Amino acid sequence: MRIILAGLGAGGLFAGIAVKKRNPKAKLIIVDKKDYDLLSPCGLPFAIEGIVPSFEDVVHEYHLPDIEKYMKHEVIKLDPKNKKITALHEGTKFDLEYDKLILDLGSSPFIPPIPGAFELLNKGVFTVSDIYDCSNLKKWAKPQQKAIVVGAGAIGLETAVALRHNGMEVVVIEMLDSVLPKAIDSDMADILSVHLDELGIKVMKGSRLEKINGEDKVKSVVIDGHETDTHLVVMASGVKQNCEIARTAGLEVGRFGIVTNERMQTSDPDIYAIGDCVQVKNAMDGKDWTMQLAVAAYRQGLVAGTNAAGGNDEYMGALTTFASKIGEIEVAATGYNSHFAKERGYDIFSVKAKGLTRPDWFPGAQEIVLKVIFNKKDGKIIGAQCIAPQGAAGRINVMSTAISAGFDVHRMQNIELAYCPAVSETYDVINKAADIASKKFELIKKRSV
Ligand SMILES: Cc1cc2nc3c(=O)[nH]c(=O)nc-3n(C[C@H](O)[C@H](O)[C@H](O)COP(=O)(O)OP(=O)(O)OC[C@H]3O[C@@H](n4cnc5c(N)ncnc54)[C@H](O)[C@@H]3O)c2cc1C
C-alpha cells in the first residue's frame, strides 16, 4: 500500500508514526517543500528571545523505517481521479501515485493588505513562521530601536516579549479592544495587560496599522493617522489555511478549511486531511469549527494515519485548549470564550474565582484567577480561562477534561484534586469557582421557575 503524506508538520509527524504502527509494510512517501524535516514552530518566539539557545534546536530529523522522503518538493496539484499528486522540485514537475493520501499542508501567515507590508517583507517587516523569517527577525532586532508587533494573539505577544528581552522598545497594535481576543474574555485580558505594562510593552487596543514607509528598509509606520519612526514590524495578524490545492482538486472546502469527517477523511474517502488546513467539528456542540494549534494537529494525525493504514480511529472534535507563557505569566483557555459562546447561540453565565497557587502560609504563594463559562440551560461547563504565574495550564487541562466528560456545575464541585502545600491549596481555585457557580446556578433556576 502506498500512502503519501503531503506536508510533514505537527500533524504529519504523528500521522507517519501511526501509519507505520498500524501497517509496518505500508510504503510511506513524504513530500514537503521545506529543506529540513521537522520544525517545532511553538518554540520560535522562545528562540528569538534566547531561552531556546539556537534556531537549530527547533529543527528535528524524522526517521521511520522504509520511508521515501521528498524534501524541497512542493505539491502543486492533486488528481483524485487518477490517485496521483504533482510535485515541483527545482523547476521540474513529476507525479507520484498513491493508494491513500494524507494532506498536512498547514497554514501560512496572513499579511494584511497594508501599503508597504509586502514591499518591505524581510526588509524590516517579518512574519513568525519558520526558522528563516525568525532568524532574520532576530538579526534585525536592535536594542533601543522601536518594534511594532501587529496582532495581540499568542504569537504576537510571545514575540513582543522576546523583542523586549532583546532590548527593543515594543508596541503591540491590536484592532480589537483586548489582548488574546480569540482565547480569553476582556476582563481576563486586563490582568495580562497589567503584566505587559510591567514588562514595558505598550499595547494599543482598537488601533490600526495603516501604512509602512521605507524604500529598502522600514523607516516609519502610520498608526491611526499618526506617523512614528520604526525599525521593525512583526506581522502576527493571524493565519490563512492552505486549502487552495484541495479546493482546485474538487475536495469540499468549508468556511473553516478542508471538510473532514470524524475519521479525518475529506469528501474523497481515499484522501485524509489534518491540522491547520482542516475544518472539524467542535467537541461540545458538533458544529463546524477549526483549531490552529499543534495539539489538534497531532491527534488528527494519529487518527488519519491509523485509518489510512487500514485501522479504525475517530477524532472526537476540537475544544481549542491552549496555553501560552507571556513574560512571567501563564495564560490558558479551553472551550468557548464568552464571545464565541454567545455567537454560537448559548445563553451563558460565568463566574470568576481567585485563589493561590499554594497556601498563603507557604513561601512562594501567588495569585491564580480562573473564569468558567456555563450554559444556563443545563449548568454544563462550556469554557474556562486561567491566568497565573504558574499552574494555569494544569487547571485548564482539568477543565478541558471536565468539558469533554460533559460535567455540569455539580460534577465540577466534586472534582477531586491533589494537594500538597508545596504545589497547591486544599481548596483549589477550581473548587472555589464551582461553589460560586453552584450558588449562581441555583438562583438562575429559581428565577426561571
Ligand atoms: C510562532 C508559532 C507559535 C506557536 N505556538 C503554539 C503553541 O504554543 N501551542 C500550540 O498548540 N500551537 C502553537 N502554534 C501552532 C502550531 O504550530 C500549528 O497549529 C501546527 O504546527 C499545525 O500543524 P500542521 O501539521 O497542521 O501544519 P504545519 O506544522 O504548519 O506543517 C505544514 C507542513 O506542510 C508543508 N507544506 C505546506 N504547503 C505545502 C505544499 N504545497 N507542498 C509541500 N509541502 C507543503 C510545510 O512546509 C509544513 O512543513 C504556533 C505556531 C507558530 C507559527
* Mutate which of 293, 302, 324 for ligand 1 pocket (most atoms within 8 A of beta carbon): 293
* Mutate which of 32, 78, 134, 235 for ligand 1 pocket (most atoms within 8 A of beta carbon): 32
pLDDT in tens, 62-117: 999 989 999 999 999 999 999 999 999 999 999 999 999 999 999 999 999 999 99
* Ligand 1 contact via 125 beta carbon (within 6 Å): no
* Ligand 1 contact via 394 beta carbon (within 6 Å): no
* Residue 265 near residue 95, CB atoms below 8 Å: no
CA distance 252 to 275: 16
pLDDT at position 173, please? 98
CA 60 to ligand 1 center in whole angstroms: 14
Nearest CA to ligand 1 atom 44: 32
pLDDT, average across residues 427-431: 96
Retrieve residue 325's grid coordinates: 507563557
* Ligand 1 contact via 233 beta carbon (within 6 Å): no
CA distance 228 to 3: 53
* Mutate which of 158, 292, 321 for ligand 1 pocket (most atoms within 8 A of beta carbon): 292
* Ligand 1 contact via 300 beta carbon (within 6 Å): no
Residues 6+ apart with CB under 8 A from 139: none
Parallel, antiparallel or unpaired: strands 27-31 and 2-6: parallel
Nearest CA to ligand 1 atom 37: 105
Could you tell me how far CA 412 lies from the centroid of its own chain?
Answer: 26
pLDDT, average across residues 261-280: 98
Positive or negative torsion for Cα 186, 191, 196, 198 = positive
Residue 96 β-bridge partners:
85
Given the CA of residue 106, which atom of ligand 1 is nearest to it?
Answer: 27
Residue 353 β-bridge partners:
370
pLDDT at position 8, please? 98
Given the CA of residue 7, which atom of ligand 1 is nearest to it?
Answer: 34
Q: Show the 3-state SS of 89-118.
A: ECCEEEEEECCEEEECCCEEECCCCCCCCC
Given the CA of residue 277, which atom of ligand 1 is nearest to it?
Answer: 26
* Ligand 1 contact via 101 beta carbon (within 6 Å): no
Q: Which contiguous run of DSSP H or E holds residue 439?
A: helix 429-448
pLDDT at position 449, please? 75
* Residue 373 near residue 183, CB atoms below 8 Å: no
* Ligand 1 contact via 293 beta carbon (within 6 Å): yes
* Ligand 1 contact via 246 beta carbon (within 6 Å): no
Retrieve residue 322's grid coordinates: 491552549
pLDDT in tens, 373-410: 999 999 999 999 999 999 999 999 999 999 999 999 99
* Ligand 1 contact via 80 beta carbon (within 6 Å): no
pLDDT at position 366, please? 96
Q: Is 339 left (phi over 0), alpha (psi -120 to 50) or beta?
A: alpha
Percent pLDDT > 70 in the chain is: 100
pLDDT at position 142, please? 92
Closest to 110 measured CA to CA, from 137, 129, 130, 134 = 129
CA distance 155 to 429: 28
Mean pLDDT for all residues in the chain: 97
Strand segments, DSSP code E, in 61-208 are 67-70, 74-79, 84-89, 92-97, 100-103, 107-109, 125-127, 146-150, 169-174, 201-205
Retrieve residue 379's grid coordinates: 449548568
Tell if the pTM clears 0.75, that is, is over it. yes
pLDDT in tens, 207-260: 999 999 999 999 999 999 999 999 999 999 999 999 999 999 999 999 999 999
- For the chain, report the end-to-end CA distance as a whole number of angstroms: 62
At residue 263, does pLDDT exceed 90?
Answer: yes
For 99, 101, 129, 394, the CA distances from 27, given in Å and listed in that order, are: 10, 12, 30, 39
Type of residue found at 431? N
Retrieve residue 261's grid coordinates: 469527517
* Residue 237 near residue 110, CB atoms below 8 Å: yes
Q: Given 42, 134, 277, 420, which residue is catalytic?
A: 42
Catalytic residue list contains 42: yes
pLDDT in tens, 10-21: 999 999 999 999
pLDDT at position 95, please? 97
CA 105 to ligand 1 center in whole angstroms: 8
At residue 436, does pLDDT exceed 90?
Answer: yes
Nearest CA to ligand 1 atom 27: 106
Percent pLDDT > 90 in the chain is: 99
pLDDT, average across residues 264-292: 96
For 2, 40, 249, 332, 352, the CA distances from 102, given in Å and listed in that order, are: 11, 20, 14, 30, 42
CA distance 133 to 122: 7
What is the band of 448 on the pLDDT scale with cuts at 50, 70, 90?
confident
Nearest CA to ligand 1 atom 19: 293
Phi and psi angles of residue 410, each rounded to the nearest 5 degrees, phi first: -65, -45
pLDDT at position 229, please? 97
pLDDT, average across residues 150-167: 98
pLDDT in tens, 23-57: 999 999 999 999 999 999 999 999 999 999 999 99
Given the CA of residue 45, which atom of ligand 1 is nearest to it?
Answer: 1
Residue 370 β-bridge partners:
353, 386
pLDDT at position 336, please? 97
* Residue 326 near residue 163, CB atoms below 8 Å: no
CA distance 11 to 3: 15
Retrieve residue 434's grid coordinates: 464551582
Residues in the chain: 449
* Ligand 1 contact via 156 beta carbon (within 6 Å): no
* Ligand 1 contact via 43 beta carbon (within 6 Å): no
